[in-house]
């Protein structure tokens, strides 16, 4: 979703450049640009959207009961289609409907003191050593679910580390790249993210 704000729109960004007429003109040009053969919609979003990165919506869940009405035109699009600009309280929105590549995976997270959302006291080096040890045990035949339940510091540990089904782009980039590179029923090497060290198993 690409957002072009204007002065007076409800968007969490300071110093919006366009007035309403200017935003309408620019958003129409961007929609045309997004429809060109070979256009990278994600790149256009990164370059031009007025929605701050921390508040961007990478994907819209049609089943979400709290979905604002102004996002619903996205669901009338065909796969690969780019919408005309839609005026909303945020500004002018341009949608693109994409096909989602979905996988199911589980993971073991070994976090350390200072990692994001970590409550662990171990050092980063100790976490890395433990992750490598657990990976070796899994490679030697130890049950992945057992390792996850016993050792993972992630919230999915009680569910054997199961993350369920998720689309490309939902996880942090390092995790996402490693998970989607796996073949079904294979296990990754140790993957480092801001949360700690992960061992990922792709199920399908």
Q: pLDDT (tens digit, 9 = 90+) per residue, 63-102? A: 566 677 777 778 888 888 999 999 988 889 999 887 778 8
Quote the mean pLDDT of the chain.
88
Q: Are 1 and 57 in contact (CB under 8 A)?
A: yes
Q: Is residue 68 classed exposed, middle or buried when 0-12, 13-18 and 19+ CB atoms within 10 A define those classes?
A: exposed
Instruction: Report the alpha-carbon distance of residue 110 to residue 130 in Å, rounded.
Output: 8
Max CA distance (Å), the chain = 64
pLDDT in tens, 102-137: 899 999 999 999 999 899 999 999 999 999 999 999
Distance in angstroms (rounded) separating the CA atoms of residues 91 and 75: 19
d(CA 7, CA 125): 50
Model pLDDT for residues 135-172, shown as the tens digit of each residue:
999 999 999 999 999 999 999 999 999 999 888 878 88
- Domains of the chain listed by start with CATH number: 2-94 (3.10.50.40), 102-202 (3.10.50.40)
Contact present, 90 and 23 (Cβ < 8 Å): no
pLDDT of residue 60: 64
Can you tell me the distance from the alpha carbon of 122 to that of 53, in angstroms, rounded to the nearest whole number?
A: 32
């Amino acid at each position: 979703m690409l957002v072009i704000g204007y002065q007076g729109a409800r968007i969490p960004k300071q110093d919006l450049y366009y007035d309403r007429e200017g935003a309408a003109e620019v958003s129409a040009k961007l929609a045309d640009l997004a429809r060109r053969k070979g256009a990278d919609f994600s790149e256009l979003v990164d370059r031009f959207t007025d929605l701050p990165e921390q508040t961007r919506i990478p994907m819209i869940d049609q089943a979400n009961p709290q979905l604002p009405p102004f996002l619903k035109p996205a669901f009338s699009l065909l796969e690969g289609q780019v919408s005309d600009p839609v005026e909303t309280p945020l500004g002018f929105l341009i949608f693109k409907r994409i096909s989602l590549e979905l996988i199911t995976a589980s993971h073991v997270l070994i976090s350390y003191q200072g990692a994001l959302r970590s409550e662990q006291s171990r050092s980063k080096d100790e976490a890395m050593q433990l992750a490598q040890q657990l990976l070796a045990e899994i490679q030697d035949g130890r049950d992945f679910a057992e390792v996850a339940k016993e050792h993972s510091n992630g919230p999915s540990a009680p569910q054997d580390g199961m993350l369920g089904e998720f689309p490309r782009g939902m996880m942090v980039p390092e995790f996402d790249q490693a998970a989607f590179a796996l073949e079904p029923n294979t296990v990754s090497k140790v993957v480092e993210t801001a949360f700690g060290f992960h061992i990922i198993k792709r199920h399908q």
